[in-house]
Amino acid sequence: MESIGRMGQEVLKQVQDSEDLSVICGVDKVCSGDYDFPVYDDIHDVKEQPDVIIDFSVPEASIEALKFASAGHIPTVIATTGFSDEQLNLIKEYSEKVPIFRSASMSYEVNIMSDIIAKLAALLTDADIEIIETHHHNKVDSPSGTALLLADSINNALDNTMYYEYNRHVKKEKRNPKEIGIHSIRGGTVVGSHTVSFFGDNESFEITHTVNSRSVFAKGALKAARFIVNQKNGMYSMKDLF
């Protein structure tokens, strides 16, 4: 079962190309197009019993999906970003009732990048660290979940001594060495790009990951679905999939 938005369409394409998966129903409040499976505007109206749920939606819809999943004990892949702390706590509570795979990015390479920059941060302890993320003009949440994933990876490597700076235009002071600057750019149809820069004295180092097609995230979500369907209750991530 899946949601039929832009990412839902990508997931559907990947499922149709697979030999071991099929879509039995979808959920979308505003659905257009003809499908060979039912599409509901409310997940609680779903009559089918899926083996796994793949959720690319918005935080509020994700929580409703988990309510439905926990009632039927359906393993769930959460690929939505922009959750509040309260919503993240709810997801953790639901993971006690159902297996949940959640990642801020379904890209395998982004998660490799996360490991790489953590190692760099531990080596470049005196560097000023900045993250720039660029996405299409329809993206709602800012900064992106991936940007926060990368920042958290760096911060964990530095014993959580850093803080995140999102807005410098109101500040009249020099850069704090303990801040990680996070900047969001929105425009056009850019699927997603993230650059992490380490600035030292008289030299700098940066690493960039760019996504050119949403199929990257769809393929990652299907890998997660194949994994989570056989797991016990709990919270899982890309690190578990590795």
State the catalytic residues.
Answer: 135, 139
- Alpha helix (H) ranges present in 73-129? 85-94, 108-123
Question: Is the distance from CB of 106 to CB of 220 less than 8 angstroms?
Answer: yes
Could you please report the per-residue DSSP string of 12-60? HHHHHH-SS-----EE-SS--S--SS-EESSGGG--S--S-EEE-S-HH
- Collapsed DSSP state (helix, strand, coil) of residue 104: coil
Strand (E) or helix (H) holding 217: helix 215-228
Other Cβ atoms closer than 10 A to 146: 26
